[in-house]
Structures are given as C-alpha cells and as structure tokens.
Amino acid sequence: MKFSGINLLDELERADFEDIRNVFSERKFKKGAVIFAPDTEDDLVFIVAKGRVRIYLAYESKEFTLGILGPGDLYSTHAGCFVQAYEDGMLLTTDVQSVKRCMADIPIFNRTMVRVLGKILQNSFSVIDGLVFKDINSRLCAYLYKEADQYGKPVDGGIEINLNLTTEQLSTLLGATRQTVSTLLNNLIREGILVRIDRSDWLVSDLEQLKSFAEN
C-alpha cells in the first residue's frame, strides 16, 4: 500500500532533483527494531528506500497504527510517533531544515512536497475516522476495499490484491485482536466476497458488497 500515493524514490531519480537526493543519507534497519520514538531529539524527514515501517501511537498498553510505509513513502520524526521496522530495510534521512531549503530553492520540488503532505494528511484523517466511528468489521472491509479499488489487479472472477501482511500484522494495523480479524476474514470467505489465494494474496469477488460493508 502506498501511504501517500506518491513515490518519492521515483521523483528523486529526476535530473532536476539531483541536488535534493544528495542531502539524504542512508540508514539501515532490522526487522522489529523501533527506529524512531516520540522522544527522538533529531528533527528529521525520511523516505523509505527498502522494506516497510509501521507508524503508530502508543498509550499505556494500547497501540494505534496510523499506517504502513513502503518504498517511496515519506514521513517525519516531528510527528511524535513510533516508527518500527516491519522487515529489514533502509531509510533515506535528512534534517528538516535541508528539506525546507530545497523547497525554497527548487519550486518544482515544493509542488511535489505539497502533494505528498496533502495525501499524508488525508490518510491520517481517514485512519482516525475509522478508529473513532467504525467497528472492526467496517474497518476491515474499508481497508480491503481501498486496496482493491486503488491497487488491485482485475482478473477472472474479481480483483486480486496483495496485502503483504500477516493476519497478526493486519490485526495490529486495524487495532483489533488476531482472532477477531481471522474470524471476520473467514466470514467474508463464507459469504463469497473474499477468496484466499495464498499467504498474502486475496481475490475480492464482490467489490460492491465489500464497499457496502465498509460503509455500514
């Protein structure tokens, strides 16, 4: 899933963005590591170069996932969230002031950043809306519908999606227990809305019904 919908790795390959690419440095991480925490002193901007990271808030024993970032996604330590590695990978990091200078000196990069930040804000509001106003079944169906609608591949019998998440990871993302999410997925399978192809690939066989469940 694309968190912002815009792949900044592709943008940085542009010839007119060469100076911007040079302000970033590489930082590798291992699966399970907490890369940044809310008390991180450095005010950094980072782009995921390889692997995936989870952005989440934690309060007492509860965790609230805001999103999963993949290659090309951008975020900032200034947001006050935990950033955890879902798998081995690498970030491109730089300080906020360097990004501000690039935005001031290169207008076309400024426009790109405005689009990226706008998408991130939109996604954050969507996540918060789901946690506050929707039950877990609606959140699950909304997530599956979004994946199918935006990133799915039309095939015979429906739309194929690759979640690239274990049931446990999907449960964490949705703020529910693994058992609850597993039960709801099985319900969707029994109702003929969803077909499991393998560990991470699914077939959505009734997109409109899935959308209806997501909106309830």
What's the pLDDT tens digit per position in 62-100?
A: 787 878 888 988 888 887 889 999 899 999 999 999 988
Interatomic CA distance for residues 107 and 122, integer angstroms: 23
Indicate the number of domains in the chain: 2
User: Are 120 and 154 in the same domain?
Assistant: no
Helix (H, G, I), strand (E, B) or coil at 88: coil
Q: Which domain-ending residue is among 108, 132, 156?
A: 132
Question: What integer is the mean pLDDT of 131-137?
Answer: 79
User: Are 125 and 152 in the same domain?
Assistant: no
Q: What is the pLDDT of residue 193?
A: 96
- Return the axis-axis angle of helices 167-174 and 136-151, rounded to nearest 10°: 110
Which domain, by its residues, includes 111? Answer: 8-132
Lowest mean pLDDT among 46-50, 103-107, 128-132, 186-190: 128-132
User: Are 187 and 105 in the same domain?
Assistant: no
Verdict on whether the full-model pTM lies above 0.85: no
Interatomic CA distance for residues 42 and 58, integer angstroms: 20
Q: Which domain-ending residue is among 117, 132, 147?
A: 132
Interatomic CA distance for residues 24 and 124, integer angstroms: 25
Helix (H, G, I), strand (E, B) or coil at 90: strand
User: Is the pLDDT at 160 greater than 60, yes or no?
Assistant: yes
Lowest mean pLDDT among 21-30, 73-82, 129-138: 129-138
User: Are 163 and 202 in the same domain?
Assistant: yes
Q: What is the pLDDT of residue 109?
A: 74
- With respect to residue 1, please indicate whether it lies within any of the assigned structural domains: no
User: Is the pLDDT at 1 greater than 50, yes or no?
Assistant: no
- With respect to residue 85, please indicate whether it lies within any of the assigned structural domains: yes
User: Are 12 and 113 in the same domain?
Assistant: yes
User: Are 126 and 140 in the same domain?
Assistant: no
